[in-house]
């Protein structure tokens, strides 16, 4: 219930309505869902993972293991949200999880009665056979019974974003240490980012009743934060959890939007940051740890520090009568705060002996809580004292087992934390993350005064490391005190004592794991599931391994810890992948003729990131083949125009350009005359074909290389490699100009006539010639090359004139009975000629395989020369490029079919090759195909079987030389 006049973090006057499991409640501005539920007396908020036990709110931060709820519905449904960090807002709708039909009456609570039978390893031992049942029966059933919240099944909206930030110093955590570090570095002039998980800076100062610099600690923090925020070199990022530390000073962070902001239409729900920092200070504080005693999971059992936070920050009393149990001075402080808020304290139970109590409270020194009772929440606490067991009525039990420095981020790069005997806790080793220093409670400095001093030191050291003048700053006066702790992990006794509340792991489970010889802490973790899932060992780790150490007769440092891995808190995958869905994942590259192609009704197909027209349907054509056949005939008989801008274009210049190209091509480009074009083949260094294309010599020291569409990026990278690494002695440079030039193929007997109507003057180019031409004021390039086997040109203009030229060429072609043609026709035209694409040069073929061994110069070194000369890459038995045509009953050949000798069984041992490309040739009136066949060139005229087991197709084929139409090439030379 709410305490009048208490709660520095809330505004009593601003009431906000919310619902939990359909029931309406009221909270106030500044509340979390957890504080509002406690204020309304709601104690049971969840069912546990495995045993479906009633659970209540245990902590006041992101480490909360119990209070996981589902928010929202449909596409906005978010499961497993920790109620302790969900900010209250008007209309908040939360539901409990892992219960059916309701939180109060949960059928699977029967699991709790079965507990003796379903301890650690139960699944592995029980659901062994029949084996096939695991996937279909056992696992789905277990998944339904155990577990957390569920997704709605509706695709989420793209509600997140990603961003980058850079700074001199990243301070992680804005408690007293973090604030001091940020202040010191900011004063020195460093660019500082101060990231704070909470919605306001202050850290523990928001939760404690204590003074800093003579004023309330929270006010001091707010004042300093205001001062820092006003500086141009400081950026305070609240609601931002730093989730991981990575190489090179890179940190991941997730920023939640404030509820008001997230509700705005189009505003992001959160942002995943990559922060690059030259230095970092980890001031992430410490997490209080529970003590394992029987039934320590009952709603009403809370961490002592959380109880203080609910009292001081949110003005909420978590109960009417409390017992406080601890092994350090924090327990005494909790009693004082409870009494100060008017809450009755039934007893202070201190596990230490010989300690004094200055408070007016029944005090049991050297005593321990041994158990709890109550139906759906805590009703009584059993305490073992020197004089025997007492039973105390209480609805709240505040527990402190001491504090674990939050060293997660310092250990993300593989460092193992080091045990500190005096703190009974693990600390990060020095230099665990390069450039990061740990300060404050995260470094085991638990008093406010020590935190301030340690943060200041860290900030000053960062300034010095950054080469900045060190400012003269002193830490303000604050409370000091010794951290006097008696290690206490478990209270012996009957009954289950929880270590990991989130995964329902008890002391018994860890002891059993040790008995079964899962003695390595990593094995124990996996066997019992302790510290898994969102918990990541925040509450349970140290206690669990202390129990394991005791059970296996080792010390805690001998036992060691499990590995800390990012993320520190759960990060929505939607945030990490923000902006990378759909077109954000695969952006579109559009040619200059794209709009015109779409207007003509062409279906656009993907070619890498490019989109190209597959065919141009005309009135009356109902099937793609009709359009394709017409376009092929058009090119063969009249003229066609095709946008070939997607082919890679690389400009190569320099006095040594010719020698450079000799090195990357198998053939000698230095012998190419100016104004001429040559077909060229590039190999990889392993002797296999990388790519093919044309190379035009534009001038003595100026070449233009074209690549296939698919390999443009790879070839560019390769040329850079060759120029910079392999032949840095040559004075030549290459740059991609693919985007700068729009290029169109004009092919067919009437090609020259089309050009005549477009160019100012058509030069009399020989086959494989190049010339500079003009279209009015625009300088263009004309190449007489052909991928169709017809008289053909490619004309290139600066990309900004591409759309206009495309329209001009197509209109002109149409006037002559031709028109635009697409990818389907382009493919048929090249197969009819036996020309290859990456269907053939797929990465495993050599120049020999495609019959181009003659294109490999023997007079010079080139990339791939030595490896290509290996006998295995030149032997006659290799699969060689051939043509195929059906000669039996069946007239289809499918690309992907495998080739077998006519009488041989179609099994892999008899495999002789495969089909790479196939099409119906309207020119020939039957299907043709290209493929690779063992000893293929020697088998022209023989018959083979093409078998496609997947599609059930068997075709008798005749092996032919690849290239059916005009094999002598008279038409394209013409």
Q: Does residue 29 belong to the site contacting other proteins (CB under 8 A)? A: no
Q: Which residue has the tokens 């989109």?
A: 611
CA–centroid distance for 826 within its chain: 39
Q: Does residue 467 belong to the site contacting other proteins (CB under 8 A)? A: no
Q: Which residue has the tokens 């000698």?
A: 668
93 versus 731: smaller Cβ distance to other proteins: 731
301 versus 730: smaller Cβ distance to other proteins: 730
Contacts of 842 (CB under 8 A, 6+ apart): 916
- Mark the segment that binds other proteins (CB under 8 A) among 496-504, 595-603, 694-702, 722-730: 722-730
Which of 102, 250, 320, 555 forms a contact with other proteins (CB under 8 A)?
250
- Mark the segment that binds other proteins (CB under 8 A) among 260-268, 538-546, 867-875, 961-969: 867-875
Using alpha carbons, select from 402, 399, 368 the residue that is nearest to residue 493.
Answer: 368
Number of H helices, E strands in the chain: 25, 50
Minimal distance, residue 242 CB to other proteins, in Å? 17
Q: Does residue 740 belong to the site contacting other proteins (CB under 8 A)? A: no
Minimal distance, residue 685 CB to other proteins, in Å? 6
Query: What is the gyration radius of the CA atoms in the chain, in angstroms?
Result: 38
What is the spatial distance between Cα 919 and Cα 923, in angstroms, rounded to a whole number? Answer: 11
Q: Does residue 867 belong to the site contacting other proteins (CB under 8 A)? A: yes
Footprint (CB under 8 A) of other proteins, residues 635-694: 685-686
- Mark the segment that binds other proteins (CB under 8 A) among 31-39, 404-412, 526-534, 865-873: 865-873
Minimal distance, residue 441 CB to other proteins, in Å? 28
Minimal distance, residue 241 CB to other proteins, in Å? 21
Helix runs in 560-711, H state only: 573-576, 594-599, 624-637, 657-664
434 versus 655: smaller Cβ distance to other proteins: 434
Q: Which residue has the tokens 């035009």?
A: 696
Which of 565, 724, 891, 967 forms a contact with other proteins (CB under 8 A)?
724
Minimal distance, residue 665 CB to other proteins, in Å? 15
Concatenating the DSSP letter of every residue in 155-216 gives PPP--EEEEEEEEEEEEE--SHHHHHHHHHHHHTT--EEEE-SSSSTTGGGGTS--EETTEE
Q: Does residue 894 belong to the site contacting other proteins (CB under 8 A)? A: no
49 versus 251: smaller Cβ distance to other proteins: 251
Minimal distance, residue 720 CB to other proteins, in Å? 5
276 versus 390: smaller Cβ distance to other proteins: 276
The tokens describing 594, both together, are 């794209």
Contact 535, 48 (CB under 8 A): no
Q: Does residue 134 belong to the site contacting other proteins (CB under 8 A)? A: no
Which of 526, 600, 659, 865 forms a contact with other proteins (CB under 8 A)?
865
Q: Does residue 584 belong to the site contacting other proteins (CB under 8 A)? A: no
Minimal distance, residue 272 CB to other proteins, in Å? 14
Q: Which residue has the tokens 């939640």?
A: 256
Using alpha carbons, select from 80, 195, 58, 208 the residue that is nearest to residue 149.
Answer: 80
- Mark the segment that binds other proteins (CB under 8 A) among 168-176, 329-337, 725-733, 943-951: 725-733
Contact 95, 77 (CB under 8 A): no
The Cα-based distances of 585 to 122, 165, 607, 609, 714 in angstroms read: 43, 22, 15, 10, 20
CA–centroid distance for 187 within its chain: 37
| Torsional sign, CA 725, 726, 731, 735 | negative
321-326 and 344-350 strand pairing: parallel
- Mark the segment that binds other proteins (CB under 8 A) among 6-14, 192-200, 526-534, 718-726: 718-726
Using alpha carbons, select from 350, 378, 353 the residue that is nearest to residue 363.
Answer: 350
Contact 939, 959 (CB under 8 A): yes
Q: Does residue 590 belong to the site contacting other proteins (CB under 8 A)? A: no
Which of 165, 262, 276, 894 forms a contact with other proteins (CB under 8 A)?
276
Using alpha carbons, select from 963, 960, 961, 929 the residue that is nearest to residue 946.
Answer: 929
Minimal distance, residue 683 CB to other proteins, in Å? 12
Q: Does residue 175 belong to the site contacting other proteins (CB under 8 A)? A: no
Task: Tell me if the bond preceding 101 is cis, omega within 30° of 0.
Answer: yes
Number of Cα atoms under 13 Å in the Cβ half of residue 867: 13
- Mark the segment that binds other proteins (CB under 8 A) among 77-85, 439-447, 535-543, 715-723: 715-723
- Mark the segment that binds other proteins (CB under 8 A) among 101-109, 638-646, 863-871, 923-931: 863-871
Contact 927, 832 (CB under 8 A): no
- Mark the segment that binds other proteins (CB under 8 A) among 54-62, 441-449, 519-527, 721-729: 721-729
Minimal distance, residue 632 CB to other proteins, in Å? 38
Minimal distance, residue 732 CB to other proteins, in Å? 12
Minimal distance, residue 7 CB to other proteins, in Å? 44
640-643 and 604-607 strand pairing: unpaired
Quick one: which H or E segment has residue 244? strand 240-246
Using alpha carbons, select from 224, 256, 264 the residue that is nearest to residue 82.
Answer: 256
Using alpha carbons, select from 710, 718, 786 the residue that is nearest to residue 751.
Answer: 786
Which of 119, 178, 249, 455 forms a contact with other proteins (CB under 8 A)?
249
Contacts of 144 (CB under 8 A, 6+ apart): none
Footprint (CB under 8 A) of other proteins, residues 382-441: 413, 434
Minimal distance, residue 716 CB to other proteins, in Å? 8
Q: Does residue 888 belong to the site contacting other proteins (CB under 8 A)? A: no
Which of 464, 671, 870, 949 forms a contact with other proteins (CB under 8 A)?
870
Number of Cα atoms under 13 Å in the Cβ half of residue 152: 14
Contacts of 592 (CB under 8 A, 6+ apart): 643, 645, 742, 799, 802, 803, 806
What is the spatial distance between Cα 163 and Cα 176, in angstroms, rounded to a whole number? Answer: 28
Which of 12, 162, 235, 274 forms a contact with other proteins (CB under 8 A)?
274
Q: Does residue 252 belong to the site contacting other proteins (CB under 8 A)? A: no
Minimal distance, residue 568 CB to other proteins, in Å? 19
For other proteins (CB under 8 A), the number of binding residues is 28
- Mark the segment that binds other proteins (CB under 8 A) among 580-588, 654-662, 779-787, 858-866: 858-866
104 versus 431: smaller Cβ distance to other proteins: 431
Which of 516, 720, 814, 892 forms a contact with other proteins (CB under 8 A)?
720
Minimal distance, residue 190 CB to other proteins, in Å? 17
Angle, to 10 degrees, between the axis of helix 304-312 and the axis of helix 330-340?
30
Minimal distance, residue 411 CB to other proteins, in Å? 14
Footprint (CB under 8 A) of other proteins, residues 817-856: none
Q: Does residue 726 belong to the site contacting other proteins (CB under 8 A)? A: yes
Q: Does residue 138 belong to the site contacting other proteins (CB under 8 A)? A: no
Minimal distance, residue 865 CB to other proteins, in Å? 8
Contact 514, 543 (CB under 8 A): no
Which of 13, 422, 728, 908 forms a contact with other proteins (CB under 8 A)?
728
Which of 129, 130, 232, 247 forms a contact with other proteins (CB under 8 A)?
247
Which of 717, 774, 842, 949 forms a contact with other proteins (CB under 8 A)?
717
Using alpha carbons, select from 546, 559, 116 the residue that is nearest to residue 292.
Answer: 546
Q: Site residues (CB under 8 A) for other proteins? A: 164, 246-250, 274, 276, 413, 434, 685-686, 713, 716-717, 720-721, 724-726, 728, 735, 861, 865-867, 869-870
């Amino acid at each position: 219930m709410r305490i009048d006049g208490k709660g520095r973090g809330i505004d009593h006057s601003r009431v906000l309505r919310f619902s939990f499991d359909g029931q309406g409640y009221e909270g106030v501005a500044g509340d979390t869902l957890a504080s509002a539920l406690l204020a309304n007396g709601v104690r049971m908020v969840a069912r546990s993972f495995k045993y479906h036990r009633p659970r209540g709110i245990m902590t006041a931060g992101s480490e909360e293991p119990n209070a996981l709820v589902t928010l929202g519905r449909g596409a906005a449904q978010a499961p497993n949200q920790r109620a302790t960090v969900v900010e209250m807002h008007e209309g908040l709708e939360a539901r409990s999880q892992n219960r059916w039909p309701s939180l109060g009456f949960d059928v699977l609570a029967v699991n709790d009665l079965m507990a003796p039978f379903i301890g650690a390893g139960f699944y592995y031992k029980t659901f062994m056979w029949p084996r096939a049942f695991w996937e279909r029966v056992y696992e789905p059933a277990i998944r339904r019974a155990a577990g957390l919240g569920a997704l709605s099944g509706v695709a989420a909206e793209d509600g997140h974003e990603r961003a980058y930030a850079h700074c001199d110093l990243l301070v992680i955590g804005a408690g007293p240490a973090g604030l001091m570090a940020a202040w010191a570095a900011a004063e020195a002039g460093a660019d500082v980012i101060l990231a704070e998980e909470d919605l306001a800076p202050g850290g523990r100062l928001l939760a404690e009743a204590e003074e800093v610099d003579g004023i309330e600690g929270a006010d001091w923090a707010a004042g300093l934060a205001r001062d820092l925020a006003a500086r141009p070199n400081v950026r305070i990022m609240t609601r931002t959890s730093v989730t991981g530390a990575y190489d090179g000073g890179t940190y991941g962070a997730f920023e939640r939007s404030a509820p008001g902001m997230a509700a705005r239409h189009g505003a992001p729900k959160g942002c995943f940051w990559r922060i690059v920092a030259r230095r970092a200070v980890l001031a992430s504080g410490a997490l209080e740890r529970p003590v394992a005693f029987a039934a320590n999971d009952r709603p009403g059992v809370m961490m002592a520090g959380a109880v203080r936070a609910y009292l001081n920050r949110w003005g909420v009393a978590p109960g009417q009568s409390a017992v406080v149990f601890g092994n350090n001075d924090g327990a005494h402080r909790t009693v004082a705060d409870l009494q100060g808020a008017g809450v009755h304290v039934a007893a202070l139970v201190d596990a230490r002996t010989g300690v004094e109590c200055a408070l007016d409270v029944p005090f049991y020194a050297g005593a321990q809580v041994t158990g709890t009772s109550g139906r759906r929440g805590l009703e009584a606490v059993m305490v073992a004292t020197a004089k025997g067991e007492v039973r105390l009525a209480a609805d709240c039990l505040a527990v402190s087992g001491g504090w674990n420095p939050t060293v997660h981020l310092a250990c993300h790069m593989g460092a193992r934390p080091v045990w500190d005997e005096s703190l009974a806790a693990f600390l990060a080793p020095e230099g665990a993350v390069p450039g990061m220093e740990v300060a404050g409670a995260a470094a085991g400095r638990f008093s406010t005064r020590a935190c301030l001093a340690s943060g200041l030191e860290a900030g000053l050291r960062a300034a010095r490391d950054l080469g900045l003048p060190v400012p003269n700053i002193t830490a303000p006066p604050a409370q000091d005190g010794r951290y006097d702790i008696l290690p206490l992990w478990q209270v012996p006794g009957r009954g289950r004592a929880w270590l990991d509340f989130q995964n329902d792991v008890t002391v018994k489970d860890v002891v059993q794991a040790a008995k079964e010889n899962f003695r390595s802490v990593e094995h124990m973790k996996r066997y019992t599931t302790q510290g898994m899932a969102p918990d990541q060992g925040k509450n349970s780790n140290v206690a669990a391994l202390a129990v394991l150490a005791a059970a296996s007769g080792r010390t805690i440092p001998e036992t060691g810890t499990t590995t800390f891995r990012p993320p520190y808190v759960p990060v929505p995958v939607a945030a990490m992948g923000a902006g990378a869905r759909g077109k954000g994942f695969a952006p579109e590259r559009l040619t200059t003729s794209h709009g015109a192609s779409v207007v003509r009704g062409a279906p656009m197909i993907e070619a890498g990131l490019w989109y190209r027209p597959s065919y141009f349907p005309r009135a009356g054509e109902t099937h793609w083949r009709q359009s394709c056949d017409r376009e092929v005939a058009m090119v063969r008989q009249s003229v066609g125009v095709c946008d070939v801008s997607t082919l890679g274009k690389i400009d190569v210049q320099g006095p040594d350009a010719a020698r450079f190209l000799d090195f990357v091509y198998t053939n000698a480009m230095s012998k190419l005359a100016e104004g001429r074009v040559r077909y060229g083949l590039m190999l990889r260094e392993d002797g296999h074909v990388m790519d093919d294309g044309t190379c035009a010599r534009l001038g003595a020291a100026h070449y233009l290389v074209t690549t296939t569409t698919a390999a443009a990026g790879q070839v560019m990278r390769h040329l850079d490699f060759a120029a910079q690494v392999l032949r840095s002695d040559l004075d030549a440079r290459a740059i991609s100009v693919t985007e700068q030039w729009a290029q169109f193929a004009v092919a067919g007997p009437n090609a020259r006539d089309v050009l005549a109507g477009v160019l100012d003057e058509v030069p009399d180019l020989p086959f494989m010639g190049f010339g500079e031409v003009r279209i009015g004021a625009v300088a263009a390039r004309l190449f007489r090359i052909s991928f169709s086997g017809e008289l053909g040109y490619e004309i290139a203009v600066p990309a900004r004139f591409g759309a206009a030229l495309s329209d001009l060429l197509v209109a002109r072609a149409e006037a002559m009975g031709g028109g635009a043609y697409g990818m389907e026709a382009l493919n048929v035209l090249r197969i009819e000629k036996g020309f290859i694409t990456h269907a053939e040069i797929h990465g495993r073929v050599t120049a020999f395989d495609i019959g181009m061994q003659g294109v490999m110069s023997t007079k010079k070194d080139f990339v791939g020369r030595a490896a290509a000369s290996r006998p295995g890459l030149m032997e006659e038995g290799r699969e060689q490029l051939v043509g195929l045509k059906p000669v039996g009953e069946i007239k289809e050949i499918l690309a992907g079919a495998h080739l077998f000798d006519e009488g041989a069984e179609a099994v892999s041992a008899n495999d002789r090759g495969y089909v790479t490309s196939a099409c119906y040739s309207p020119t020939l009136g039957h299907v043709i195909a290209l493929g690779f066949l063992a000893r293929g060139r020697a088998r022209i005229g023989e018959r083979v079987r093409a078998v496609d087991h997947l599609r059930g197709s068997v075709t008798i084929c005749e092996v032919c030389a690849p290239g059916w139409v005009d094999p002598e090439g008279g038409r394209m030379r013409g």
